[in-house]
Structure 1
C-alpha cells in the first residue's frame, strides 16, 4: 500500500512539473487558418508565408474503437500536407484537426466518458500526428452538452497533455502542440467549460467567434444579421462578449485566438428599400443555407454590381442588390478585429477557411495588421 501511495504522489509531482514546463514554453503568436479537402482548394495553392499555423481538417473518431483515423480518401493529401506547406514557409507549423461540425458529438461524449477510451483516442492521435508529420493536434468537439461531458473534457485534456509530454520525453521529439476549437464564449448555453484543464493543458483555444446569425436558423431567418459581429449593442452575442467571458473565467488572453470567418451568409430581403442590419427578410438567398465564400462575395461586388457597406458599431461588412443581402467580413472588419485581438493581448487569430479567400485578400490584411 505504501509503495502504491508513493507511486501516486510521484506521478502527481511529475505531472505538475510537466505542466509547469508546458506553461513556460507557450506560443508567441498564432496567425492560423484551416484547410479542408472539401473546399476544392489545393494544398499546394496555400500561401503559407501568411500564416504561422495551418490546421488540416478533419481526422475522424471511430465510434467503436474510439481511435482517431484518417479516411482513405484524405490519406494521400494529409500525408504530404506538412511537406507541401513548408515548401513556401519552412517555419510554418501544422496541426491535425479532429472532429468538426459534421462529426457526431455523442461519439466524442462516449470516448471521453472512460479512461480506457480516452486512452485509445489519445494514443492513436499521437501516433497519427507523428506518422503524418504534423506538429500538433487540434480538438473540435462540437459540443459537450452536459456538465458530465464538460468534466470529462477536462479529464481528456489533462491526460492528453500528460501523454504528449511523456511521448516527447521518451522519443526526444519536440512536444506536440495541443489546441482546441471551442464555442465563442466560456459557457455553452450555461454549461461552463473546464477552465483549469484548458489553461493547464492546451497551448491555446481557437475561439469560434462567428455564425451568430444565419438565414436558415431559427431566430434569424426573418431579418438580416451580422454573422460574426465583434460588438452587438442589441445582445450579448458578439466576439467581444465571448473573449471577455473567456478571460474572466480564468483562461489567459495569451491562450486565446480570435476566430475570423472567410465567408458570409445571404438573406432574401422582403423590401429592397430596407437594406440595413436587421432588415426584414425571409430566409436564405443564393444557396440552400445562404452561405457564400469571401471570393464569391467579392465577385458579386466587382462583377454584379452589389453595393458594399461597413458598419463600425457591429464591426461587420454587408452588401446588397435587389432583394439579396449578404453579411460577411471584408478588409475593414478584419482589420478592426485583428487590431482588437492584438490590443486585448490575445495570442492571435485563426480563420475558416483558406480556400474561401482564394486571392488571400483577407489573409494578407490580417497578417499585415498584426505585424511580424
Structure 2
C-alpha cells in the first residue's frame, strides 16, 4: 500500500547540534524525529515511549516547529533506533504486549500532533522475530485504520531484505526507509583491510562488492515494489588508516579505522580544509573520498548525493531520506543537492 506522495525526507537526531527550529523544512516533504526510546515498565509489564532526557520539549513540539515555515511537511515520530533490540523481541512475541505497545504509540503520536509513526527495530534477526514482526505490523495497520486513519505507518530497515516479512511490509506499511549505508564499516582492530566507500552506488571493478544498487535490486526481487522503497542517503563518512600514504585509491591496503565513529559531512569539510586534503569524486562508484597523510575518508558529497537522489527517481523509488540532517554543513549543501536532483532543478 505505497504512498502516492513522493518522499523527500530527513531525520532529525536529538544527539546533535542542529535543533528542529533551524531545519529548512522547505527542502523536505517529511521529517522524522529520532528517536523515541522504548523502555520496559517492570512494575506493569508494559512498554513506554520515552523521549531523551532534556529533549522532551523538542519531541513534544517537533511537529508544530517544523511546520512553521512549511505547513505541508509531514512530521513522523521514529521509534527505536537506540533501543535494545531485545525489547522489541519481547514486545512482538505476544499479542497482549503488541497491542499495548501499538496503543501507546498511537496515543503519543496523536497527543503531539505527529502525522505518522516509524518503527526502527535493529534488527529482527531470528525466524521468531520475523514472524512476530509480521504480526506486529499487521495488527498495527489494523489499529491505525480503526483509531487514527490519517497516520502514516513506516519502518526503517536494514539494507538487506533477509530479516523482514515482505508480505507484511507490502500490506501494512506506507513505505520503508532502506538504510543503504554502512555497507562497509572499518573498526580500529579488525578488517576490512582495504579502503571501502561506506555506500557505493555501483561497483565497476568487482561483482563481489556490496552496492546500494544491488541492495535495492534485492528488495525488489524479494517482492517489495520499487514505489514502496525510500533510499537512505548518508550525510556522514567512515575513515580508514592507509598502510601506505602513497597508495590512496579505493581498495588500497588499510589498517582498520582511524576512528570507529561516523564522521559528519560538516566535519569532513573541516578535515579537508585544515589538512589540505585531496578530494576525489568517483562517478564510477558514485562516492567521494579524501585523504591526507595516512587518513582516508569515504563519504557521500554533493555530487554523489545528487546522483543517488536522481537514481532513486529514475529507478521508480518513492523517494529518499537523509541520515541525518544535523550532519550537513551550515549551508545545507547535501539537503539542497538531493532536493534539486529529485525535483529536476
TM-score by length of 2: 0.94
Q: Distance in 2 between matches of 1:341 and 1:112?
A: 32
CA deviation digits over 1:265-285, x for unaligned, max 9? 111111010001111111222
Q: Taking structure 1 as reference, are residues 204 and 177 closer, same or farther at Cα in structure 2, changes over 3 Å only?
A: same
Structure 2 unaligned regions, length at least 5: none
Q: What is the deviation of 1:219?
A: 6.1
Q: Is the 8 A contact 2:190 2:256 kept in 1?
A: no
* Alignment partner, residue 197 of structure 2: 226
* Alignment partner, residue 122 of structure 1: 102
1:274-353 equivalences under 5 Å are 274-285=247-258, 288-353=259-324
Q: What is the deviation of 1:36?
A: 1.4
CA deviation digits over 1:225-250, x for unaligned, max 9? 11011123342521111111111111
- Aligned pair count reads 337
1:155 maps to 2:135 = yes
1:153-192 equivalences under 5 Å are 153-168=133-148, 175-188=150-163
Q: What is the deviation of 1:317?
A: 0.5
State the SS of the aligned residue for 2:55: helix
State the SS of the aligned residue for 2:214: helix
2:36 to 59, 69, 72: 59
* Alignment partner, residue 225 of structure 2: 252
Q: Is the 8 A contact 2:229 2:318 kept in 1?
A: yes
1:195 maps to 2:187 = no
Q: What is the deviation of 1:293?
A: 0.5
Q: Is the 8 A contact 1:35 1:54 kept in 2?
A: yes
* Alignment partner, residue 78 of structure 1: 59
Q: Distance in 1 between matches of 2:100 and 2:305?
A: 39
CA deviation digits over 1:265-308, x for unaligned, max 9? 111111010001111111222xx414211011112223431111
Q: Distance in 1 between matches of 2:89 and 2:213?
A: 29
Q: What is the deviation of 1:187?
A: 1.0
CA deviation digits over 1:348-368, x for unaligned, max 9? 000100110032100000001
1:97 maps to 2:78 = yes
1:357 maps to 2:334 = no
* Alignment partner, residue 366 of structure 1: 338
- More helix by proportion, 1 or 2? 1
State the SS of the aligned residue for 1:187: helix
Q: Distance in 1 between matches of 2:191 and 2:230?
A: 26
From the CA coordinates, give the structure whose radius of gyration is larger. 1
Q: Distance in 2 between matches of 1:218 and 1:330?
A: 27
1:48 to 25, 33, 38: 25
TM-score by length of 1: 0.87
Structure 1 unaligned regions, length at least 5: 1-22, 169-173
Q: Taking structure 1 as reference, are residues 289 and 130 closer, same or farther at Cα in structure 2, changes over 3 Å only?
A: same
Q: What is the deviation of 1:309?
A: 0.6
Q: Is the 8 A contact 1:213 1:220 kept in 2?
A: no
CA RMSD of aligned residues (A): 1.6
State the SS of the aligned residue for 1:55: strand
Q: Is the 8 A contact 1:266 1:327 kept in 2?
A: yes
Q: Is the 8 A contact 2:306 2:340 kept in 1?
A: no
State the SS of the aligned residue for 1:275: coil
Deviates more, 1:114-123 or 1:334-343: 334-343
